[in-house]
Structure 1
Amino acid sequence: MRWPLLIRLVVLALLIAFLVTPESFAFLLEPLTKNGQPAIYDRGSLWSLTLSHLAITFAATIAATVVAVGLAILVTRPFGAEFLPLSRSLANIGQTFPPVAVLALAVPILGFGTAPTLVALFLYGLLPIFENSLTGLTTLPPAVTEAARGMGMTGTQRLTRVELPLALPVILGGVRLSTVISLATATIGSTVAARTLGEIIIAGLTASNTAFVLQGGLIVAVLAVLIYDGLSALERFLVARTGRARQEAA
């Protein structure tokens, strides 16, 4: 287990070094340039673009998590069960309309910039979080929920102290998937003037500069792997913890 952790730390350190001092790595990308093109993106700070890209991704994911988990809680209560088909249809909207189509529809209303990108990522991230939240809340061990009811807990107490903590690993699995999808999809936000790493890729495609395209794609890919790996580790920790809690309750 030490070597994989060491590799992750090395990759993270290299990524940070590249974002802070990209000129130090220019010699690796120069073979991909032609006609005196710059090897490192020079129309903005890579560090600033990366932070903006992550901020947009996390903002959309947090909003999608709040709405998706809220809908899952609603439809798993007796008074909200009838809203399940409607909630599932709402969660499917983002998958029905491609993010590019959502951007095209949102720009005339919200204008260019970050706002339409947030809307597209929010809608696109709803479904995996909603489905995982629904699964987590509907597959709890009956013995645990009955024990909570037998202890005199109210519905709210059972939800906050028993159901959500036990369902959290499954919910986090949906959040992990949604985050990685949004991280990759956020690159298209640069087509509507949002500050994302897609700006580097678009600049590379426009100027036929493979070095720009590669560095933009690599930054996104490395971020996706590291975030996915980190959330997976957290998910495994929560699975072990909730597994012990279930055994103690039983």
Structure 2
Amino acid sequence: MRRWGVPLVWLGLLLLASLGMAELEAVFRWLEPDSREVIYRRTEFLTLLGRHLLVVGVASLLAIVAGVGAAVLVTRPFGRDFLPLVAQFASMGQTFPPVAVLALAVPVLGFGTLPIIVALLLYGLLPIVRNSLAGLQGIDPAVHEAARGMGMSRGQVLRQVELPLAAPVILAGVRTSVTINIATAALGATVGASNLGDPIISGIVNGNTAYIVQGALLIGLLALTVDSAFERLLGWRRIRFR
């Protein structure tokens, strides 16, 4: 529990801010002395936090399955010819702006959560694919030989040797992808996907700095919570495999 102290502190601050934002009205009143409302009240912050986590969680899970799966396939003998194609596709997904993805996805998928999930999926693929390839290709060939010498099948080598050894590198890519997408998910508020981007977009539209700060504060605390949790998880993995 001591090892997880920092993530728990950030989580506690995140929950306190979500539940007690109204208690900071005096602070936000100082930022916006002329505004009639300085606390965003259209939807509870805890509800927005849950929706934000849901969007990021679904998109990240899809990106992990697609990214790690693609890396596994192109590192097998039958799929090596597709390695450059997969790497280029993942790079293109992150260089293509999420706003552009949303603009193209909305006419096809409509307004709501689905377009931002597609945008986050494409935007989050590159770190996962790149790190998965680095982790799997970085395993010493002697390890493969030893595993095959023990009579392991290719599937057993993948599950019991390659993926466990590559896990720290893969997790580092997942950490980068998820942390980036926590901030990027706020764009979903522009296409009707309610999340922590709502107060930010509302603040921009209405010229209310207090709203913008509230949304940015919660997104920042969420990113710090998740990032520190991944850091502890990576440390635990390193200790386990020493």
TM band (smaller chain): over 0.9
Residue 42 of structure 2 corresponds to residue 47 of structure 1: no
The aligned residue for residue 11 of structure 2 is 12
- Distance (whole Å) between structure 1 residues aligned to residue 10 and residue 230 of structure 2: 16
Residue 97 of structure 1: CA displacement? 1.3
| Contact 1:133–1:167 (CA under 8 A) maintained in structure 2 | yes
Residue 239 of structure 1: CA displacement? 2.0
When structure 1 is superposed on structure 2, of 173-182 and 140-149 the one drifting more is 140-149
Map residues 118-137 of structure 1 onto 2, 5 A cutoff: 118-137=117-136
Matched residues, percent identical? Answer: 49
Residue 191 of structure 2 corresponds to residue 192 of structure 1: yes
The aligned residue for residue 214 of structure 2 is 215
| Contact 2:17–2:218 (CA under 8 A) maintained in structure 1 | no
- Distance (whole Å) between structure 1 residues aligned to residue 84 and residue 109 of structure 2: 29
Map residues 137-176 of structure 1 onto 2, 5 A cutoff: 137-176=136-175
Unaligned runs of 5+ in 2: none
Residue identity matched to 2:223? A
| Contact 2:111–2:191 (CA under 8 A) maintained in structure 1 | yes
Residue identity matched to 2:122? L
Distance 1:241 1:10, change over 3 A: closer
Residue 8 of structure 1: CA displacement? 4.8
TM-score by length of 2: 0.95
User: Secondary structure of 2:12's partner?
Assistant: helix
| Contact 1:128–1:174 (CA under 8 A) maintained in structure 2 | yes
- Distance (whole Å) between structure 1 residues aligned to residue 86 and residue 165 of structure 2: 22
Residue 5 of structure 1: CA displacement? 6.0
- Distance (whole Å) between structure 1 residues aligned to residue 94 and residue 53 of structure 2: 22
- Distance (whole Å) between structure 1 residues aligned to residue 101 and residue 4 of structure 2: 39
The aligned residue for residue 25 of structure 2 is 26
Aligned length: 242
| Contact 2:6–2:228 (CA under 8 A) maintained in structure 1 | no
Deviating beyond 6 angstroms after TM superposition, the runs of 4 or more aligned structure 1 residues are none
Residue 144 of structure 1: CA displacement? 2.2
Map residues 86-97 of structure 1 onto 2, 5 A cutoff: 86-97=85-96
| Contact 2:7–2:225 (CA under 8 A) maintained in structure 1 | yes
User: Secondary structure of 2:50's partner?
Assistant: helix
Q: Which fold has the larger relative contact order, with Cα–Cα distance below 8 Å and residues 6 or more apart in sequence?
A: 2
RMSD of Structure 2 on Structure 1 (CA): 1.7
| Contact 1:34–1:209 (CA under 8 A) maintained in structure 2 | no
- Distance (whole Å) between structure 2 residues aligned to residue 219 and residue 133 of structure 1: 30
| Contact 2:124–2:181 (CA under 8 A) maintained in structure 1 | yes
- Distance (whole Å) between structure 2 residues aligned to residue 160 and residue 169 of structure 1: 15
| Contact 1:18–1:24 (CA under 8 A) maintained in structure 2 | no
Cα shift readout 1:180-231 (whole Å, capped 9, x = no counterpart): 1110000111100101211100111112111111111011111111111110
TM-score by length of 1: 0.92
The aligned residue for residue 224 of structure 2 is 225
The aligned residue for residue 77 of structure 1 is 76
- Distance (whole Å) between structure 2 residues aligned to residue 83 and residue 240 of structure 1: 35
The aligned residue for residue 177 of structure 2 is 178
Unaligned runs of 5+ in 1: 245-250
Residue 151 of structure 1: CA displacement? 0.3
